[in-house]
Structure 1
Amino acid sequence: MELSSVPTDVELAAWATQVAADVQQRKLMLVTAESCTGGWIAKTLTDLPGSSAWFDAGVVTYSYGAKEALLGVNPRTLERTGAVSEETVLEMVSGALARFGAGMAVAVTGIAGPSGGTPDKPVGTVWIGWKRRGGYARAKLFHFSGDREAVRRQTVAAALIGIRETLTD
């Protein structure tokens, strides 16, 4: 999945509506575990009327301590790979499912900028993970461009599109 441009609010709302239909059709609840998006995925989903029927919870975990306490991310993983890594996002998405009653989870961690990037992990580096209860977690690395708003907006879109892909796999 590649985004051709920074998505608009209308596009995000349309993807959220599609996610809602897919989740409801499968009689699941959804949980989000967010870092760089600061709850934007949960906000986009819960902007929809009736979302309490299919949206379970959203957790924002910026710090290492929050990732460990709220999602069960192993401190050694954070020390070894950092917060923005495949290993961390997989532990985040698995932890979200373990701690809530949802049947589907999405997790995001990244560097939205304008600072915080490194040569190995420049601004716009984002890992997104998805998992259905009883299934395997999958993660994907993205390199988004633009300012903080653009990186975060593209992350929300990619997370929503990935939920749909995970549900139809």
Structure 2
Amino acid sequence: MDNWFYLPTVSDERPPMTNLPAYPDFTLTLSGNEWRQAEFINISKLCTVGEEVDEIKEVWINHSREFADGIRSFHRLHIRRQIGAAELFIPLFELKSLLRSHTLGSIALDDRAGFVKNGFALNTLSGYFYGLEENGIVKSLGVHTATGLADREIARLVKNFSLIYVHWCNCNILTP
């Protein structure tokens, strides 16, 4: 029997967990496979991002199939190992202001107990922005359940902080 995956790629990294939520307003719960699927990365890693995206495109082209129900599945799963840390340095208060978000929540993963250590989530009209912060500085930033309205927010973040945005599963890269 063949194994088929519903995603072409996942991150090789899982964040550390803790028993206490970092922020009290709400909890964003992600599946383990959703961690870092759409994220912002330091622009210095653009070449490495391009190499990873090429590997994912190869999975799309040579190792995927659309089944009768219209769902595309993947016979091979690319595990992203080259990227490492996103290497961001964004003050959390600036991010909250730019996204016009007033609530600050924590992150949980549905396949692990507790909360993501140093994890934060921002709820906006277009979806959730989440990541890791240390001492008020955002070190990684991802997007979850974004609507079409998020495109404007994503572009603004890319431009204001000179980042690249990558949607790994769709092989999309947005640069400043």
- The bucket for the TM-score relative to the shorter chain is under 0.3
After TM superposition, the score normalised by the length of structure 2 is: 0.26
Which one has a larger percent helix, Structure 1 or Structure 2? 1
User: Which of the pair has more CA radius of gyration?
Assistant: 2
After TM superposition, the score normalised by the length of structure 1 is: 0.27
Which one has a larger percent strand, Structure 1 or Structure 2? 2
Higher normalized contact order (CA 8 Å, seq sep 6+, divided by chain length): 2
